[in-house]
Amino acid sequence: MHPVMKYVSTRGGPLVTLEAAIMGGTAPDGGLYVPETLPSFGPGAIPAGEFPAVATTLLEPFFAGSTLASQLPAMSADALNFPVPLRALEHDGDGGLSVLELFHGPTAAFKDVGARFLAAAMARIAGATPGGPPATILVATSGDTGGAVAAAFHRRPGLRVVVLFPAGRVSPRQQHQLTCWGDNVTSLAVEGSFDDCQRIVKEAFADQALAARHRLCSANSINVGRLLPQAAYYAHASLAHHAATGQASSFIVPTGNLGNAFACVWARRLGMPIERIILATNANTTIEDFLATGQWLPRPAVATLASAMDVGNPSNMERLRALAGDAAGVRAEVDAVSVSDDVIRATLVDEYRRHGIAWCPHTATALHAYRELPADERHGRHWVAVATAHAAKFDTIVEPLLGITVPPPPALAELLALPSRFDTIPASLGALAERL
């Protein structure tokens, strides 16, 4: 039996249950929820195995004492129902390069893992308190998040989703993934920018009467219910490699808001066989600059080819700093490499030439960081570049560059064949409130 786990804000607020942390999203003091203590698994405590089984064992201590504890195995089986394969690309002495492919879910990006697990959790929490209106998951999206959340919550009883996206500013395939659902998913194109969408969502949560009437909930990437299952794919991959070779793995993670990479830091702290962690970013260098200077200077995002990483104020840095202490502590956990658009293009072409594989622009940042490693750091280590999305999601960038067509994987092709439905609204809270 694990001791009861409570959750606390990075800014020190009161202890809450797992259910409250998941339904609340952000803590009332503006901080992010983290477990009160991090459990630790000794060597051999988690056998290598199937992804849902590893996830269940890894996450058990985080669910101890929660009403969800007995449902964790069913949640893992329900949410983590697609493969997360580790694909060996190159051998280099007793080291080499593998790619962790996280894009085999319904919307072909790693966000499917967190979104599906969060939906499985919220559906069970909402189901435990029946009656009243459904809880409304309100999301603003610049592209990938909204599709993963809509897919994950589609037809979940007791829950509905309202997705806001900037009209005319998301790619055609992204727009299709936001608007092909119907049923309990409402898609609204906002006449404005992504910042307008985010502002309206913030105003909706701040309007206490409106928030209470519609039981508004957030599903954005700072939700602890999205982070926890992400630690599980690092456990699954590193345990499998360790069982086969006796060797630990080092990960290079394409990074924007630091949700994916922070989950890797957690997995290592939990005792998984993980050595180094390198963050690969695009031209948004807030994290690199912090590691270099110790100064945290958030700034507006600049647009890049790896658009899902266009973040100037990576919010999960608050969790990493709370865990690591100061800048020196953060430096001891991670390194960071910034990759320009020109280098992303060159890397996509180079990797296609080497292996005949088309990767997405986000994944290219991690592959470039691997190529840049000094030879003595490459030899003898098992490096894993994390592939965060399928290249077919970014067809308008990848196809002209490589001169090929990249067919969408089957799950994505199914979505693209569905009809698209959405309404367009002005960029105001009043217009949103009318649609709720």
Ligand X SMILES: *Cc1c(COP(=O)(O)O)cnc(C)c1O
Give contact residues for ligand X (rule: CB under 6 A).
109, 111, 144, 221, 254-261, 308-309, 362, 388-389
CB of 349: closest distance to ligand X in angstroms?
A: 19
Asked if 320 and 265 count as a contact pair (C-beta separation under 8 A), the reply is: yes
Are 279 and 253 in contact by the 8 Å Cβ rule? The answer is yes
CB 260 to ligand X: min, Å: 4
- C-alpha span between 290 and 266 (Å, rounded): 20
In the numeric block, the tokens 């430096």 are attached to 331
**Other CB atoms within 10 Å distance of the CB of residue 376:** 8
**Which is closer to ligand X, CB of 135 or CB of 253?**
253
Q: Judged by CB, which is closer to ligand X: 39, or 259? A: 259
**What distance in Å separates the CA atoms of residue 353 and residue 269, rounded to the nearest whole number?**
37
Residue 149 CB, nearest approach to ligand X (Å): 12
Q: Which is nearer to ligand X, 242 or 390 (CB)?
A: 390
State the minimum distance, in angstroms, from the CB of residue 255 to ligand X: 4
Residue 341, classified by CB atoms within 10 Å of its CB into exposed (0-12), middle (13-18) or buried (19+), is middle
- Comparing CB distances to ligand X, the nearer of 192 and 254 is 254
Instruction: Name the minimum Å distance from CB 99 to ligand X.
Output: 14
Q: Of the two residues 79 and 427, which places its CB atom closer to ligand X in the complex?
A: 79
Comparing CB distances to ligand X, the nearer of 135 and 364 is 364
- Helix, strand and coil content of the chain, in percent to the nearest 5, comes to 45, 15, 35
CA distances from residue 334 to 232, 247, 328 in whole angstroms, order as listed: 19, 20, 10
Q: In the chain, what is the straight-line distance between the N-terminal and C-terminal CA atoms, in Å? A: 43
CB of 213 to ligand X, least distance (A): 31
**Least spacing, CB of residue 238 vs ligand X, in Å:** 19
Nearer to ligand X, 32 or 258 (CB): 258
Rounded CA gap, 370 and 86, in Å? 16
DSSP letter, residue 314: -
